[in-house]
Structure formats: C-alpha cells, structure tokens
Amino acid sequence: MSYPKEKLLEMYRSLLGDRILEERLIELYAQGWVPGHIHSGVGEEASYTGVLATRREGDCYKFTHRNVSAYSDVGVSYRHIFCEILGRMGGNSEGKGGINHIADKDKGVIGMAGALGCDIAIATGVSYALKLQSSGNMVYCFLGDGTTSRGPVHEAMNWAGVWKLPILYIVNNNEFSISTHVSEGCSIPNPGAGRAAGYGMPAKLVDATDVLEVYDAAKELSDYVRSGNGPAVLETKGYRWRGHFEGDQARYRDAAVANEWHKRDCVKNLESYLKEKDLLSDAEIEAIREETKAAIEDGIAFAEKAEQPKLSAIYDNIFAEPYEN
Ligand SMILES: Cc1ncc(C[n+]2csc(CCOP(=O)(O)OP(=O)(O)O)c2C)c(N)n1
Ligand SMILES: [Mg+2]
C-alpha cells in the first residue's frame, strides 16, 4: 500500500509519543508517584497506534489496563491523563479512579472495568447505540489475549454478530495473561482471529511490531464495519516486554525469548522505513521527540501541582441520584 506522507508522519508522532509516555510512566512509578499498579505497554504501541490511525470524529474507544498511552492518541490531554494517574483533581474521577479508569466522554473514551471482559459488553452496547443513531461511527474495543476467554466477551461478541453492530474488536495478543502463556489458556493459537468465525466475523492477524501492517488491516476491517456489514476482529501478535505489572520479574518466561522480541522494536521499525524513504531525518526525529517530551512534562508538572481530592469527597459520585419523574 502507498501512504500519504502526512499519514506516515502522524503515525510516527503517535508511536513515538506513546513510547515516551510509556517510558516516563515506568520512571514515575519507580519514584513512587503513582498510586496502585501500572501495567506497562512499552513495546506494544504499534498495536493501537496503527489501529487508531483509522479513527474518525465521533468514534468511541474502549481501552485496557495495558494500552494507557492510547488515550493521548485520541486527544485526551496529558494534563487530564496525569491528573487521573497521579490521583489529583483535574482527572475525570478527580483522581479516585487512577490509571485504569481514565475516561473522557467528549473524546469518545468510554472507560474500562476492573473486572476484565465485563466492559466488552458495555463497549458492545455503545456500538448498539451508535447503530440506532445511524451515526456512521463505530467502536474500537481493545482487549488482551487472556480476556478473550471470559464469558461476557463471548456473549457480547455473539450479539454483536447477530445484530451486525459497528464494532471492531482488537485483540492485543502479547502471549501472556499475567503468568499464564496463551497456549495454556486457549485451545487454539490465536484467541482473537481464530475464534472470529464462530461469531460470523471476518478477522485478520497481524505482526504487532509493524505499525503499517497493523494500519492496513485495521483500515480494511474498519471500512468493512463502517459500511454497515457488522463487527470484525483484528488480532495483533506481539509480546509483552515487561512483567505483568512493574515489580513482576517475569521469572515464569524465557528471558532469551523476551530479549529476541525486544529487538523487534515497533518505533525503530517505522523510523528505519521513513529514513529509507527519505521522509524523516535524525534532526526531525529529535525535534518531534523534544516537542513531545515538553508536552508530557507539562502534563506531569500540572498534575504534581494540582490538589489532591479532599477526604470529605470520598463518597461523592459513587451513587447516581434517584431518577424522579
Ligand atoms: C475478571 C478478572 N479476572 C482477573 C483479573 C486480574 N487480571 C488483571 S490483568 C490480568 C491479565 C489479563 O491478560 P490479557 O487479557 O492477556 O491482557 P494483558 O495483561 O496481557 O495486556 C488479569 C488476570 C481481573 N482484573 N478481572
Ligand atoms: Mg496478554
């Protein structure tokens, strides 16, 4: 496929921005700034950047505990992201939700559930609403390889198939569900693409380290979904670079295999492609890097200065007010 230069540079900016954000999060966590856990998505950025490059105004997104940097790809500001992550006022739940619960309705980000898989039903419900509104928009619903084996995922995908809903399920297969290898949790090698036929959905399986391969497949499938044909599945096959959460030394896996995967770096892959084609110079890479770092540091500095939630607000916004006629 041939790509307009602007599209390639847009993808590069997102990819590099997400990498810098993922790396900075690891540092912040090590310094004790982040309450709770972080599940680093470093190394897996192409599996959502390539997909999100096909999005349109008005689309909706369900992300996961792993692809946190994707929020910035769909326009959630770094200030918002860091206020929520660092537990400050200024985040969507005023710091009470934390890293796993970033949401932004205006940007189409519908949030995620801590109980994995339950939110696939919610995202599928959102796609039903989009269909009823005849909006021409769709939902991008991300989930991990392990999550695909949960009951609610099966039920939601079944109904999405029956009702031909406008939703693309993106299964980020990074080979592990905490310490369980994908081969121990699923009887077929590809838990996303391999199961799609059972729901009447077309599917593609792509190399998650090649952002252009991810983009091509996502483009074809999202065009299919947008045209009213119903849902589809994209499985991105990559590898989790770090432990399940920071602090997990991942002794259950072969370090040599992990090292091999680390060499397949999605950011470097796109950089080499763009340099070969004379579309990007070292000086331009440096300029994009500095600009992105400054925006991220602004978000962190803003959050560090923001107030913490007051103890008296601890029960606020937990229950909806009773509906009155
Ligand atoms: C219903 C439920 N069971 C277990 C957990 C604990 N848990 C959190 S992340 C995770 C692993 C998920 O694996 P996968 O879907 O492959 O995503 P990955 O972490 O690899 O990105 C588990 C089991 C949970 N949050 N919810
Ligand atoms: Mg996984």
- Domain span including residue 16: 5-307
Q: The tokens of 146 are what? A: 């392990």
What is the rounded distance in angstroms from the CA atom of residue 37 to the CA atom of residue 78?
A: 19
What is the rounded distance in angstroms from the CA atom of residue 117 to the CA atom of residue 71?
A: 19
Instruction: Tell me whether residue 318 is in a domain.
Output: no
Q: Please count the structural domains in the chain.
A: 1
pLDDT at residue 264 greater than cutoff 90: yes
Across the beta sheet with 203-207, the strand order is 60-62, 139-144, 167-173, 232-237, 203-207
pLDDT in tens, 115-157: 999 999 999 999 999 999 998 999 999 999 999 999 999 999 9
Q: Name residues whose C-beta falls within 8 Å of residue 185's C-beta, 6 or more positions apart in sequence.
A: 145, 146, 149, 177, 191
CB–CB of 92/85 below 8 Å?
Answer: no
Which is more confidently placed, 1 or 281?
281
pLDDT in tens, 29-80: 999 999 988 999 999 999 999 999 999 999 999 999 999 999 999 999 999 9
Instruction: Tell me whether residue 75 is in a domain.
Output: yes
Instruction: Tell me whether residue 221 is in a domain.
Output: yes
Instruction: Tell me whether residue 324 is in a domain.
Output: no
Q: Whose CA is nearest to atom 8 of ligand 1?
A: 116
Q: What integer pLDDT is reported at residue 29 of this predicted model?
A: 97
Q: What integer pLDDT is reported at residue 118 of this predicted model?
A: 97
- Give the CATH number of the domain where residue 121 resides: 3.40.50.970
Among the ranges given (93-97, 191-195, 199-203, 245-249), the one the predictor scored with the smallest mean pLDDT: 93-97
Confidence grade of residue 228 (pLDDT, cut at 50, 70, 90): very high
The average confidence (pLDDT) of the chain is 96
| Mean pLDDT, rounded, for 231-241 | 98
What is the rounded distance in angstroms from the CA atom of residue 130 to the CA atom of residue 138?
A: 7
Instruction: Tell me whether residue 191 is in a domain.
Output: yes
Instruction: Tell me whether residue 177 is in a domain.
Output: yes
Instruction: Tell me whether residue 244 is in a domain.
Output: yes
pLDDT at residue 323 greater than cutoff 90: no
- Evaluate: CB of 194 within 6 angstroms of ligand 1: no
Q: The tokens of 174 are what? A: 């990074």
Q: Do strands 176-177 and 180-181 pair parallel, antiparallel, or not at all (unpaired)? A: antiparallel
Confidence grade of residue 315 (pLDDT, cut at 50, 70, 90): confident
Query: 7, 9, 6: which is closest to 284 by C-alpha?
Result: 9
Q: How far is CA 117 from the centre of its chain?
A: 15
Residue 177 Cα to ligand 1 middle (Å): 6
Instruction: Tell me whether residue 104 is in a domain.
Output: yes
* HSE, side-chain direction, 13 A CA sphere, residue 301: 6
pTM, 2 dp: 0.97
Query: 103, 176, 168: which is closest to 141 by C-alpha?
Result: 168
Confidence grade of residue 314 (pLDDT, cut at 50, 70, 90): confident
- Evaluate: CB of 65 within 6 angstroms of ligand 1: yes
CB–CB of 140/60 below 8 Å?
Answer: yes
Q: Whose CA is nearest to atom 19 of ligand 1?
A: 177
Q: What integer pLDDT is reported at residue 325 of this predicted model?
A: 60
Confidence grade of residue 2 (pLDDT, cut at 50, 70, 90): confident
Q: How far is CA 279 from CA 7, 93, 268, in A?
A: 12, 41, 14
